[in-house]
Amino acid sequence: MTESNIVCPQCSGPLDLRRERIACDACGQAFSRDSESGLPLLFFDHSRSPEDVTARIKDFYEKTPFPDYELIDSAATLRIKSERGLFARLLDEQIPHGARILEAGCGTGQLSNFLGLTLDRQVTGADLCLNSLRMAEAFRRKNDIQNVRFLQMNLFKPVFKPGSFDLVICNGVLHHTSDPCGGFRSIARLVKPSGHVLVGLYHAYSRIPTDVRRIIFRVFGNRFKFLDYRLRGKSIGDRKKNAWFMDQYKNPHESKHTLGELIGWFKREGFEYLNGIPKPVPFQPFLPHENLFEKNPEGSFLDHFLVEAGQFFAGDREGGFFLMIGRKK
Ligand SMILES: C[S@@+](CC[C@H](N)C(=O)[O-])C[C@H]1O[C@@H](n2cnc3c(N)ncnc32)[C@H](O)[C@@H]1O
């Protein structure tokens, strides 16, 4: 990432992060650095509406950073654990050489740091939550991951020029904002022509089992935690279990979406649908050697209905989540 791509989130004037005192020459807005991690604090508020959830969401994740690094103490364990997920492995293998990547809403930065283990790419992880970013930066420094950087940013007020990135990842983030479609519009601008966007959202139907469990926990207390697959399993430690429990069941705000809706956002912002999990056409499984960046059919309304109905019955180990990749035309 060249420094000339960084702009002031208030006026889009140039911003030089190499300076000791970060300030916009155009509008005079000053920004500080975190005294603990040295990270640039470039968060800028985008809404004065009392209904906007940004401050509440920030507060929530400051207290329970997600997903947390418990049991991941080195770059080697990060790689092993990340590659257990088919999607993360394929992404890492298939991202084009030399790519510039932004993870908007990187949380504690596992994916950014994992992708940064491959040297020929530049990764930027950005999030609202300073405590998450501190964990991300501490891991990056400890493992000397050179081509990743973290900064605090509100995705509605990005600090990058339009078209700065080959790939923008926004996984599990937009549904925690007051305006997911507006958030998508904001990050879509940062993708360069022929570049890609990857978005993960909660699904309207496959999230229903989580909603039911949330009600059970509220009524009967936390002794029913075993109803959640991750909370009863032994694959993650107690701290990660707590982060998952809070994220899934105590989150102050989430919205739910459909396959057709996200494909609609893609079209409106000039993207074509390429691939996703689940695929929006029935009986087309996502394969272990899938080419993520190859064009696949986007399906009809009926296809979406059949896939979505199937998802409801397929279980919700990932919390009722779907992912899509699009290419900017
Ligand atoms: C569920 S976590 C997902 C973290 C990470 N993407 C992952 O998949 O593990 C949601 C993250 O979105 C961040 N977030 C929510 N609204 C945001 C905004 N307006 N700008 C930047 N980050 C935001 C939160 O701070 C939180 O870290």
Digit-by-digit pLDDT tens for the chain (329 residues) are 456 799 999 999 999 999 888 999 999 999 999 999 999 999 999 988 889 999 999 999 999 999 988 878 899 999 999 999 999 999 999 999 999 999 999 999 999 999 999 999 999 999 999 999 999 999 999 999 999 999 999 999 999 999 999 999 999 999 999 999 999 999 999 999 999 999 999 999 989 989 999 999 999 888 888 888 888 877 788 888 899 999 999 999 999 999 999 999 999 999 999 999 999 999 999 999 999 999 999 999 999 999 998 887 765 666 788 999 999 99
Residues 179, 129 share a domain: yes
Shared-domain flag, residues 213 and 195? no
Residues 38 and 81 occupy one common structural domain: yes
Boundary-marking domain end, from 163, 178, 202: 202
> 154: CA distance to ligand 1 center in Å?
10
Range of the domain at 194: 3-202
Residue at 276 is within a domain: no
Residue in this structure with the two tokens 């405590």, named with its chain if needed: 131
- Please work out whether the CB of residue 127 comes within 6 Å of at least one atom of ligand 1: yes
Res 224: pLDDT: 86
Give residue 248 CA to ligand 1 midpoint distance, Å.
Answer: 13
pLDDT in the model for residue 201: 97
The first and second tokens of residue 222, run together, are 């936390």
Q: Does the beta carbon of 57 sit less than 6 angstroms from any atom of ligand 1?
A: yes
Cβ 318 under 6 angstroms from ligand 1: no
So what's the pLDDT on residue 315?
A: 59
pTM for the predicted model, two decimal places:
0.96
In the block, which residue shows the tokens 């702009």?
7
Residue nearest to atom 8 of ligand 1 (CA): 171
- What sign has the CA pseudo-torsion 177, 179, 182, 184? positive
Domain count, the chain: 2
Co-location of 180 and 45 in the same domain: yes
Are 260 and 298 within 8 A, CB to CB? no
Ligand 1 centroid – CA 146 distance (Å): 23
Of the three residues 165, 186, 202, the one that is the final residue of a domain is 202
- The closest-lying atom of ligand 1 relative to the alpha carbon of residue 103 is 6
Dist. CA 129 → ligand 1 center (Å) = 8
Element (DSSP H or E) covering residue 79: helix 75-83
User: What is the distance in A from the centroid of ligand 1 to the CA of 54?
Assistant: 10
User: Which residue's C-alpha comes closest to atom 10 of ligand 1?
Assistant: 173
Q: Decide: 132 in ligand 1 pocket, CB within 6 A.
A: yes
Please give the pLDDT value at position 139.
Answer: 97
Q: Say if ligand 1 is within 6 A of residue 69 CB.
A: no
Is the distance from the beta carbon of residue 65 to the nearest atom of ligand 1 less than 6 Å? no
Residue 7 near residue 29, CB atoms below 8 Å: no
Ligand 1 atom 9, closest CA: 67
- Check whether residue 164 and residue 61 sit in a common domain: yes
Q: From the alpha carbon of 170, which atom of ligand 1 is closest?
A: 6
Q: Of 191, 225, 249, which one is at a domain's C-terminal end?
A: 249
Instruction: Find the 179 Cα to ligand 1 centroid distance in Å.
Output: 14
Asked if the structure places residue 219 within a domain, the reply is yes
What three-state secondary structure class fits 219?
helix
Strand pairing of 148-152 and 122-127? Answer: parallel
In a domain, 160, yes or no: yes
Q: Is the CB of 54 under 6 A from ligand 1?
A: yes
Rounded-to-integer distance, Cα 99 and Cα 97, Å: 6
pLDDT attached to residue 313: 74
Do 43 and 128 contact (CB within 8 A), yes or no?
yes
Distance 171 CA to ligand 1 centre (A): 8
What is the distance in A from the centroid of ligand 1 to the CA of 190?
A: 17
